[in-house]
């Protein structure tokens, strides 16, 4: 099918719809059936192209040559709009992703501070761009918050991570876990524990972690 005919047909449809005409109404004005008008709008103009276009263009008050010229210009304008829309949408999506990443890291930093920052603890970014917790005391390998958590849950996760880092400085932590704490227990603690944020129950962290390890050994999670 001739690409020019497709463009002209689409432009005729644009003109018809801008006049709020049905296929049947336009067909009656120029002596063609609505099925024929539909075919023309789909680019199937036929061998009597200029005769057909002359009838249609006459209705819209222009010549057939002007109709073709305007159709080509309209097509270029529409393509330019599509390109601009694509670029705008692409930029918007990337900006949203960047903002989401910033918000996520800020939420985690807030959670860590609320959980308790202090000497011997720090936060660093991995090669993948994830925030990773480390302790200068009892070594804790606390994994980043799982992707399935929402923002509130991430803040809870990071508060608990901050508490674990405070706890890692205590003698009880070193005595209970001289070989370190299993990663699964740290993640389970950060994701599920509540009520520790005041700091008064820090001595209970050891018991909670030991309980989680015992539950894991029984196959409870």
Confidence check: pLDDT of 136 > 50: no
Work out the average pLDDT over 158-172: 86
Per-residue pLDDT band for 183 (boundaries 50, 70, 90) equals very high
Work out the average pLDDT over 137-145: 86
- Between CA 38 and CA 135 the distance in angstroms is 72
Confidence check: pLDDT of 84 > 70: yes
Distances (CA, A) of 16 to 37, 48, 91: 10, 21, 34
Work out the average pLDDT over 160-173: 86
- pLDDT recorded at residue 119: 42
Per-residue pLDDT band for 118 (boundaries 50, 70, 90) equals very low
Say which residue, 58 or 130, is predicted with more confidence.
Answer: 58
Say which residue, 102 or 160, is predicted with more confidence.
Answer: 160
- Between CA 207 and CA 193 the distance in angstroms is 12
Give the DSSP per-residue string, 149-190: --HHHHHHHHHHHHHHHHHTTSHHHHHH-TT---HHHHHHHH
The model's pLDDT over 186-217, given as tens digits with 9 standing for 90+, comes to: 999 999 887 654 444 666 888 899 999 998 88
Confidence check: pLDDT of 68 > 50: yes
Domains and CATH numbers, the chain: 3-87 (1.10.260.40), 103-217 (no CATH)
Work out the average pLDDT over 41-47: 85
Q: What is the mean pLDDT of the chain?
A: 80
Quickly count helices (H) and strands (E) in the chain: 9, 2
Predicted TM-score (pTM) of this structure: 0.41
3-state secondary structure of 79: helix
Work out the average pLDDT over 121-129: 49
Tokens representing 136 are 């200068």
124, β-bridge pairs: 132
Dihedrals φ, ψ of 123, to 5°?
-125, 135
- Between CA 117 and CA 207 the distance in angstroms is 22
């Amino acid at each position: 099918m001739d690409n020019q005919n497709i463009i002209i047909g689409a432009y005729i449809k644009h003109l018809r719809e801008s006049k709020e005409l049905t296929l049947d109404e336009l067909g009656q004005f120029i002596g063609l059936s609505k099925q024929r008008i539909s075919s023309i709008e789909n680019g199937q103009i036929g061998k009597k192209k200029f005769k057909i276009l002359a009838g249609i263009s006459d209705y819209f008050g222009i010549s057939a040559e002007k109709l073709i010229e305007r159709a080509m210009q309209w097509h270029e304008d529409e393509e330019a709009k599509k390109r601009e829309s694509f670029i705008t949408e692409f930029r918007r999506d990337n900006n949203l992703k960047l903002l989401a990443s910033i918000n996520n890291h800020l939420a985690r930093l807030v959670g860590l501070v609320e959980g308790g920052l202090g000497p011997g603890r720090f936060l660093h970014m991995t090669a993948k761009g994830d925030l990773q917790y480390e302790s200068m005391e009892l070594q804790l390998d606390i994994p980043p918050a799982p992707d399935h958590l929402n923002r509130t849950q991430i803040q809870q996760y990071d508060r608990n991570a901050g508490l674990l880092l405070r706890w890692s400085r205590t003698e009880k932590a070193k005595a209970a876990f001289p070989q370190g704490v299993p990663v699964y227990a740290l993640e389970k603690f950060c994701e599920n524990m509540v009520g520790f944020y005041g700091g008064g129950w820090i001595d209970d962290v050891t018991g909670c972690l030991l309980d989680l390890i015992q539950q894991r050994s029984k196959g409870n999670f």
